Amino acid sequence: MSDEQVAEAPADAGEAPSGDTDWRAELSPELSTDPSLQHIGSVEAMAKSYINAQKMVGAEKLAIPGTWATDEDWDLVYNKLGRPAAAGDYDLGEAEGELTDWFRDAAHKSGLSDKQAAALATAYDEFANQAGVMSEEAMKTARAEVETELRKEYGGDFDNKMARANELLKEFEAPDLTEIKLADGTLLGDSPDLVRLMVNISDYVAEQISEDGLAGRNSRPGVTDEDLQSRVSEMTAKNSPYWQKMHPDHDRVVNEVLRLREQIAG
């Protein structure tokens, strides 16, 4: 081989290409500067991206409704994402039976899939247990247990004692006292201690004041018909709230007068 032939050989023959070479340099300027390629760092990454894109070809696609979509449009989406055909078809797993139909209806209206509804029900069940909140079913069970306990305690006199306790609440204009909710969500009226207290008070009134208990004027010792009539006359005096329908105290005064007249009539 001549010296001239040796000189004509490429200077970088046999050398590996630099690892710093941008793979996009082999592309036309139009392609190499396309924004969609700027995050791809190598030919291998480009190949993986292409393969993933090919796998998506032919897959079922879901169009997300736009701003002006109707409820029917969203129903199609929810159904494709796994929402049951009806609210009653939800399988709530471990929370089954602890939640009312309200939850199922709300979940269905919100478009939750069966899996999502079950997860939410389980999460709520855990929260309720930690917070001491009783479900409606648990409240019914607890109420039944209290009634069973008191029926065993009072025997055949249970109904009479409950009736007298309720009369006591009405007499003192506190019938809504039993509807007060406690911290755990139960009602005050379901507390066996409160029931026993009201029964004991009504028994005391019946035994110590009169046989009629709280029925009529006899539950107020020392109060005569004249006393009651005097009170009625006072409340129905001229220009009193009794005669002024627009007065804020009108209804209360009218009801009190009616109650007093009923007591006078026995």
pLDDT tens sequence across 212-241: 444 444 445 456 778 788 888 888 888 888
Residues 108 and 158 in one domain: no
Number of domains the chain is built from: 4
What are the backbone angles phi and psi of residue 52, rounded to the nearest 5°? -60, -40
Q: Number of H helices and number of E strands within the chain?
A: 11, 0
CA distance 135 to 149: 21
For the record, the structure tokens of 136 come out as 């409606």
What pLDDT is recorded for position 17?
45
pLDDT tens sequence across 99-153: 667 788 888 888 888 888 888 887 877 776 665 556 666 777 778 888 888 888 8
Amino acid (one-letter) located at 18: S
* Domain-located, residue 59: no
Residues 183 and 122 in one domain: no
Look up the domain containing 175 and give its range: 138-219
pLDDT tens sequence across 126-137: 776 665 556 666
* Domain-located, residue 64: no
Tell me the mean pLDDT in the region 71-79.
79
Q: What mean pLDDT, rounded, does the chain reach?
A: 74
Residues 143 and 212 in one domain: yes
pLDDT range class, residue 261, cuts 50, 70, 90? confident
Residue 196: name the closest of 157, 153, 156, 155 by CA.
Answer: 153
* Domain-located, residue 51: no
* Domain-located, residue 206: yes
What pLDDT is recorded for position 44?
86
Residues 170 and 229 in one domain: no
What are the backbone angles phi and psi of residue 78, rounded to the nearest 5°? -60, -40
Maximum separation of any 2 CA atoms in the chain, in Å: 148
pLDDT range class, residue 1, cuts 50, 70, 90? very low
Of 85, 111, 131, which residue sits at a domain end? 131
* Domain-located, residue 184: yes
pLDDT tens sequence across 36-72: 888 888 888 888 877 776 665 555 666 677 777 787 8
CA distance 48 to 36: 14
Of 84, 103, 131, which residue sits at a domain end? 131
CA distance 194 to 192: 5
CA distance 96 to 88: 11
pLDDT tens sequence across 178-215: 777 666 667 777 778 888 888 888 777 766 655 444 44
Residues 181 and 121 in one domain: no
